[in-house]
Structure 1
Amino acid sequence: MTHLKAGDKAPNFSGQDESGNTVSLSDYKGKKLVVFFYPKASTPGCTAEACNLNDNFDRFKSQGYEILGVSADSAKRQSNFKDKYGFKYPLIADEDKSVINAFGVWGPKKFMGKEYDGIHRTTFIIDENGVLENVITKVKTKAHTEQILDK
């Protein structure tokens, strides 16, 4: 789905998190960043993925990674999702899809015989210089940490 690949420069994004704070790629200059896109807050697959990353948050931090979640949900829905599960990382409420479109993860999907447009579950690993280290398009929601850190 996305046209981005390892070695590409990460899109220079900016969006509002669940608390209304502006979050930009430049905030993470000099740090490694995991940006994961998920279809909808509080759904089973998205919850499994977000919780898996949160449960391993200290492991990510010890290896120099920050984490950032993105979906097209409202700030209120993102805030409720974060509060319910105690996520230690920000969630961008990308209702205008500016970050989603910058990374190219919005497009046609099929579910139960119906076709519709939505977010393709994709994770981008960005190095300290803003370059994509890896793009994961086949996300294993319950074992996502291993996909990222045990590559």
Structure 2
Amino acid sequence: MSERLRPGDTAPAFTLPDADGKSVSLADHAGRKVIVYFYPAAMTPGCTKQACDFTDNLRLLADAGYDVVGISPDKSEKLARFREKEELGITLLGDPEKEVLTAYGAFGEKTMYGRTVTGVIRSTVIVDAEGKVERALYNVRATGHVAKLIRDLGL
């Protein structure tokens, strides 16, 4: 099982392809806070709800100094279809090798429908402007998570 991050840890650096196949790095967001959220699969009901919730609150988050990046094991082509179909405004990155998911503690054993499986652990990590973990939330719910996050951040 991958190690979970804690507040104060240095956020693992990454460079991954976005929905258009362009490389996006955590370093591209230096000087801004970044909400990096990890989800199991594009175009599934829970992941769609969560992505739409982030998109609906993108202005509020951006005005408070937060960028939003969603990472899943999907390839760029699927991310592009997801973005277009749902009219998403957030940055979607693909991690088919699951290296970044693992580095952030968002891939490993989890319980699903009473069984232990290995997969993506729905997680959100908030990285501060200096690249340190401000909050690391694991096993979050797809529905209501964004609203709770906004409340917890005092926005």
* TM-score, length of structure 1 as denominator length: 0.93
Amino acid at match of 1:94: D
2:99 aligned with 1:98? yes
TM-aligned CA deviation for residue 2 of structure 1:
4.5
Q: Which residue of 1 aligns with 2:56?
A: 55
Amino acid at match of 2:111: K
**Secondary structure, aligned partner of 2:100:** helix
Instruction: Please report the RMSD computed on the Cα atoms of aligned residues, expressed in angstroms.
Output: 1.5
Structure 1 regions of 5+ residues with no counterpart? Answer: none
Amino acid at match of 1:49: Q
Amino acid at match of 1:107: G
1:88-118: per-residue Cα shift (whole Å, max 9, x none)? 1211111111211211211123323443311
Amino acid at match of 2:72: S
Superposition pairs for residues 1-151 of structure 1, below 5 Å? 2-151=3-152
The percent of aligned pairs where both chains have the same amino acid is: 35
CA contact (8 A) 2:38 2:124 kept: yes
The CA distance in 1 between the partners of 2:91 and 2:119, in whole Å, is 21
The CA distance in 2 between the partners of 1:139 and 1:59, in whole Å, is 21
Amino acid at match of 1:150: R
Amino acid at match of 1:91: L
CA contact (8 A) 1:38 1:122 kept: yes
Q: Cα–Cα, structure 1 residues 47 and 62, in superposed 2: closer, same or farther, change >3 Å?
A: same
Amino acid at match of 2:106: V
**Secondary structure, aligned partner of 2:40:** coil
1:22-64: per-residue Cα shift (whole Å, max 9, x none)? 1111100000100000011111111111111111111111101
Aligned length: 151
Q: For structure 1, which segment, 65-74 or 133-142, has the greater mean C-alpha deviation from structure 2 after superposition?
A: 133-142
Amino acid at match of 1:92: L
The CA distance in 2 between the partners of 1:86 and 1:134, in whole Å, is 28
The CA distance in 1 between the partners of 2:90 and 2:53, in whole Å, is 12
Structure 2 regions of 5+ residues with no counterpart? Answer: none
The CA distance in 2 between the partners of 1:67 and 1:23, in whole Å, is 12
